[in-house]
Amino acid sequence: GSDSGKSTTSGSTGSTGSGGSTATIASKLILGGPPEFKTRTDGVPGLQKNYGVVFSGYKVLDTGGPVTVTALKNGQVDAADLFTTDPSIAANGFVILQDPKNNFAAQNVLPLISKAKATDGVTKVLNGISAKLDTAGLGAILTKVQNDKQDPDAVAKQWLKDQGLDAAGTDAAGVTLTVGSANFPESVVLAQIYAEALKDHGATVSTKLNIGAREVYVPGLKDGSIDLIPEYNGSILQYLDKNATATSSDDVYAALQKALPPNLVVLDQSKAQDSDAIVVTKATADKYGLTSIADLAKTQ
């Protein structure tokens, strides 16, 4: 991760160069998002590369959390990096800007697991989950957690039950593993779903939830602090391979197989997608006539 500093430098140099004589809409706006968005390939550098969008400033907020939502809602920032499944987008009437150039790659949910723990039984259980998971279902789950303040644990159990996946079995018997999650609710619920299902099938499961960003938990996976985590195929690919160009679900999935370190594997990907999105308030969208990220590069 230490070369990310360099990409920050190059990103900022680029934006300075294109600030130019013509003022784009973006040049009047401030973008907010998590710290690593500054340097991620599909973050600030990607927006510039794919759309020529250069914001007037970047404010470090949290990862799709309340700070980001409040900052966007109250006008501390004009655009923010949020997740498409986030119920607060609808709740606050935020507008998701289209991403026609697929700056944000496909983000299918899939389990990332250490090879040693991916026994046939475990694989079977997790693939069974992926088969039942879709974007709408994911949104519903998240709404229960985020809006209804239901317990992720309970939500996970309920979902498994609803999907008929709660039958006890012995597929994963004898396996001991630690399920981790990133530090946002969706990841937590997904991790709980994995954990509950594996428990139902006889595994000895411990959890380490809310670990933080990918930069924190992937090393954890590599060194065995955790064994399994729900992932998004586009993000993890980009994290593993800065130069990855694949954007469609299948391309990404294929590229991911090659990019993974030897001791990790990904299992089947689900249909559920939850990608990053650039979001603005309704007022901002109306004021500048924004529907797509590309609109930000227009002059006004």
Partner 1 sequence: MILADSSSSSSPLHFWGYFLDHRAEDLRWLWDHTYLSLIPVVIGLVIALPLGWLSRRYGWLYPPMVSISGLLYTIPSIALFVMVPPLLGLKSLDPLQVPIALTVYSVALLVRVVADGLASVPEDVAQAATAVGYKRLSLLFRVELPIAVPVIAAGLRVATVSNVSMVAIAGTIGQENLGRLFDQGKQLSTTGPYYPPIVLGIVLCVLLALTFDLLIVFGTRMLTPWRRAVVGR
Partner 2 sequence: MIGDVLTWLNDPAHWRDTRVDKGIPTQLQTHITFTLIALAIALALALPLGLFIGHTGRLTFLVTAANALRALPTVGVLVLLTVIISPHFHGRTDLGFVIPTEIVLVFLAVPPILSNTYAGVQNVSAAARDAAAGMGMTGTQVLRKVELPCSLPLIFSGFRSATLQVIATATVASYVTLGGLGAFIYDGLQQQDFPQMIGGGVLVALLALLADLLLATIQRYAVSRGISGRFSTKSVIPADAATAQVRTAEASTV
Nearer to partner 1, 67 or 260 (CB): 67
Q: CB under 8 A: which stretch of 7-15, 92-100, 224-232, 281-289 binds partner 2?
A: 7-15
Which residues, other chains included, contact 294 with Cβ-Cβ below 8 Å and sequence gap of 6+?
A: 51, 53, 98, 100, 101
Number of DSSP helices (H) and strands (E) in the chain, helices first? 12, 10
**Cα 127 from Cα 138, distance rounded (Å):** 16
From 22-30, 39-47, 148-156, 281-289, span contacting partner 1 (CB under 8 A): 148-156
Nearer to partner 1, 83 or 253 (CB): 83
CA dihedral 238, 244, 247, 249 (to 10 degrees): -70
Cβ closer to partner 1: 32 or 121? 32
**Do residues 40 and 214 make contact, with C-beta atoms less than 8 angstroms apart?**
no
Q: For strand 204-208 and strand 176-180, is the pairing parallel, antiparallel, or unpaired?
A: parallel
Strand 109-114's sheet: what is its strand order? 204-208, 176-180, 228-232, 109-114, 264-266
Which residue of 53, 54, 175, 296 would you call a contact of partner 2, by CB under 8 A? 54
When asked if residue 211 is in the footprint of partner 1 (CB under 8 A), the reply is yes
Q: At what angle do helices 44-51 and 4-18 cross, to 10 degrees?
A: 40
CB nearer to partner 1: pick between 189 and 296: 189
By a kind-dependent CB cut-off of 5 to 8 A, residue 54 interacts, out of partner 2, partner 1, none, with: partner 2
- Give the Cα separation of 211 and 19 in Å (integer): 37
Q: Which stretch binds partner 1 (CB under 8 A): 25-33, 39-47, 221-229, 247-255?
A: 221-229
Ranges within 127-146 binding partner 2 (CB under 8 A) = none
| Collapsed DSSP state (helix, strand, coil) of residue 244 | coil
Binding to partner 2 by residue 241, rule CB under 8 A?
no
| Residue pair 175/122 in contact by the 8 Å Cβ criterion | yes
Nearer Cβ to partner 1, position 17 or 149? 149
CB-nearer residue toward partner 2: 62 or 134 = 62
Residue 145, classed as helix, strand or coil, is helix
Residues that bind partner 2 (CB under 8 A): 1-2, 4-5, 8-9, 11-12, 15-16, 30, 34-36, 38-39, 44, 54-63, 66-67, 70-71, 73-76, 212-213, 215-216, 219
Residues that bind partner 1 (CB under 8 A): 62, 64-67, 69, 86-88, 91-92, 145-149, 151, 153, 183-185, 208-212, 216-217, 219-220, 223-226
